[in-house]
Structure 1
Amino acid sequence: MTDFWTTVLEFSQVTSAKIGNQLLEYFGQVQADEKADGSLVTQADTWADKAIRDAIAANFNGHGILSEEGEKVFPDNDWCWVIDPIDGTTNFTRGIPIWSISIGLLYKGMPVFGYIYLPTLNQSFHGYWEGNSGLAAPTDAFCNNQPIFTSNDAPSHNHFFNVCSRSRSVIQKDFPCKIRMLGAASYNFLMVANSAVLGSIEATPKIWDIAAAWVILKAAGGCWKSLKLQPFPASPGVDYSHISFPTLVLSRPELISVFEPFLKDVEISL
């Protein structure tokens, strides 16, 4: 399987770099339309989604594809790529440089590889997660090809915790960390993976927001706690367009008891 993982990584690197270079031409220059679920989409999202899907189809015969702007019904294929062409579309349209191209690879419904690229920051994250897949996959996470790990620090007011716009109710006077809101679900999670923050909560992420980040976070040693539905294994025939997966991500399981009490007023949506 070594050659396979090398091929997957090189494909993700080349494809995301090519797409990212073009997206930089659109960055801060396009208008967004509101979709039925309230999220935003631009012509750049639509173009990038199709370009990535076309590249996968040309290089991985027999692999399924699920993407935010394309097919949203999970296919009945052993291998399936899950794509978010621009995670952080609002940031993208407003010229805020925190947005990413997210590419995840699932085997029999379970994420086994994730690659996330932030063109404006020249940052790439990738990881592998063997889990119980039976594949001979490594279990490692990287930022710009350097190994990353979650933090072992204890919470303090010199540490950070990320929230989304729908989870601001966690901000209370006795909250143990400083709060940050970055505007991109995948990057919120990645900051836990690389030990920059101790935890993160996203109230309404979709499967394409989390497929790649799930792998990287797990491989870096982090704790993924689903607050309602378990996202994986993904199920063939299911339409994922309106299913959210509220998630608490922490640098280690011991912090669940510290942060979970602050979640009681968070608006959890399915």
Structure 2
Amino acid sequence: MTEFWTEIYNFAQTTTTRIGIKLLTDYGQLEPDFKADGSLVTQADKWADREIQNAIYDHFPSHDVLTEEGSHVFSGAEWCWVIDPIDGTTNFTRGIPIWGISLGLVYQGMPIFGYVHFPNINQSFHGYWYGNSQSDRANGAFLNNIPIHTSKDNPSNNHFFNICARSTAILQSPIPCKIRMLGVTTYDFLSVANGAALGGVESTPKVWDLAAVWSIVQAAGGVFVNLGEEVPFPLQAGEDYGDRSYPTLVVSRPELISTFKPLVEFLGKR
């Protein structure tokens, strides 16, 4: 690992650990407010957002930030962090332990590094993704610094497929796995990366839900399938991503696209 990537990793680890320790004191204790889109936000979300932004600007003054609770406009900066200070705010407010802090690093509009820390369950995922090119930089995905890979299994009633609350209509489809609803976009997709699930679908994820896991899932062997007309990446300079959703399917390997996509692709047409 080069000195630059060591610095990136250490920053992400240190920052999310520090933020997570404070958030654990607020976990299950705060009353949320409603945002314009109906999602929840707490003072903890806003505090964590400010803390992460300030840390980024202090350590990487040439980098920009795009965040759920702050600026939604991509400036076109060569390096940009896309952050979700608490992914799974509903779980966080209701005392359900799966929620995380998500940091994605974007280079020229494309995610190439992701770090997601889940304080309550003591799991930290990170990964590097340089695409399928013959790069001298190695792709890699890790859980608590141990390499992870997607499952090579075939679907069965003993395997999992994750859905979100807005995609329950697919329960009428013959999904060839057990269904799970975890309530956290990043964890839905990361459970595919570490082999716990064979696939997952989210009907309304935003770029800050996808930026970190984009690198980790693909480095682990997983595949993103865009179900809508627009693709989330590369980010486009001057675009406001605040109200844009990207219906997304993730599967553990390319061969499963034909199994799951026909059952969920209607979510991209609603």
TM-score range, shorter chain: over 0.9
Cα pair distance change 1:143/1:203, threshold 3 Å: same
Residue 133 of structure 1: CA displacement? 8.7
Q: What corresponds to 2:4 in structure 1?
A: 4
Cα pair distance change 1:16/1:268, threshold 3 Å: farther
Q: Residues of 2 paired with 1:183 and 1:194: CA distance?
A: 18
Query: Structure 2 unaligned runs (5+)?
Result: none
Cα pair distance change 1:4/1:134, threshold 3 Å: farther
| 1:34-72 deviation line (CA, Å, top 9, x unaligned) | 111111110000000000000000000210100000111
8 Å CA contact 1:166, 1:266 repeated in 2: no
Question: Cα RMSD (Å) of the superposition?
Answer: 1.6
8 Å CA contact 2:247, 2:267 repeated in 1: no
Residue 251 of structure 1 aligns with an amino acid whose one-letter code is S
Q: Residues of 1 paired with 2:252 and 2:98: CA distance?
A: 21
Q: Residues of 1 paired with 2:103 and 2:11: CA distance?
A: 11
| 1:149-174 deviation line (CA, Å, top 9, x unaligned) | 00100000000000000111111363
Q: Residues of 1 paired with 2:136 and 2:116: CA distance?
A: 22
Name which of structure 1's ranges 171-180 and 92-101 shifts more when overlaid on structure 2: 171-180
Cα pair distance change 1:233/1:141, threshold 3 Å: same
SS of 2:217 mapped into structure 1: helix
Q: How does 1:7-156 map to 2 (within 5 A)?
A: 7-131=7-131, 137-156=137-156
Q: How does 1:219-234 map to 2 (within 5 A)?
A: 219-228=219-228, 229-234=230-235
SS of 1:65 mapped into structure 2: strand
8 Å CA contact 1:41, 1:89 repeated in 2: yes
Q: Residues of 1 paired with 2:94 and 2:134: CA distance?
A: 43
Q: What corresponds to 2:249 in structure 1?
A: 248
Q: Residues of 2 paired with 1:133 and 1:10: CA distance?
A: 26
Q: What corresponds to 1:260 in structure 2?
A: 261
Q: Residues of 2 paired with 1:184 and 1:133: CA distance?
A: 31
Residue 20 of structure 1: CA displacement? 0.2
SS of 1:29 mapped into structure 2: coil
8 Å CA contact 2:227, 2:265 repeated in 1: no
Residue 137 of structure 1: CA displacement? 3.6
Name which of structure 1's ranges 259-268 and 208-217 shifts more when overlaid on structure 2: 259-268
Residue 49 of structure 1 aligns with an amino acid whose one-letter code is D
Name which of structure 1's ranges 45-54 and 260-269 shifts more when overlaid on structure 2: 260-269
**What TM-score do you get using the length of structure 2 for normalisation?**
0.96
Runs of 4+ displaced beyond 6 Å:
132-135
Query: Structure 1 unaligned runs (5+)?
Result: none
Q: Residues of 1 paired with 2:208 and 2:20: CA distance?
A: 18
**What TM-score do you get using the length of structure 1 for normalisation?**
0.96
SS of 1:131 mapped into structure 2: coil
Residue 87 of structure 1 aligns with an amino acid whose one-letter code is D
Q: Residues of 2 paired with 1:232 and 1:173: CA distance?
A: 29
SS of 2:86 mapped into structure 1: strand
Q: Residues of 2 paired with 1:66 and 1:136: CA distance?
A: 29
8 Å CA contact 2:201, 2:248 repeated in 1: yes
Name which of structure 1's ranges 133-142 and 21-30 shifts more when overlaid on structure 2: 133-142
Residue 88 of structure 1: CA displacement? 0.3
Q: What corresponds to 1:236 in structure 2?
A: 237
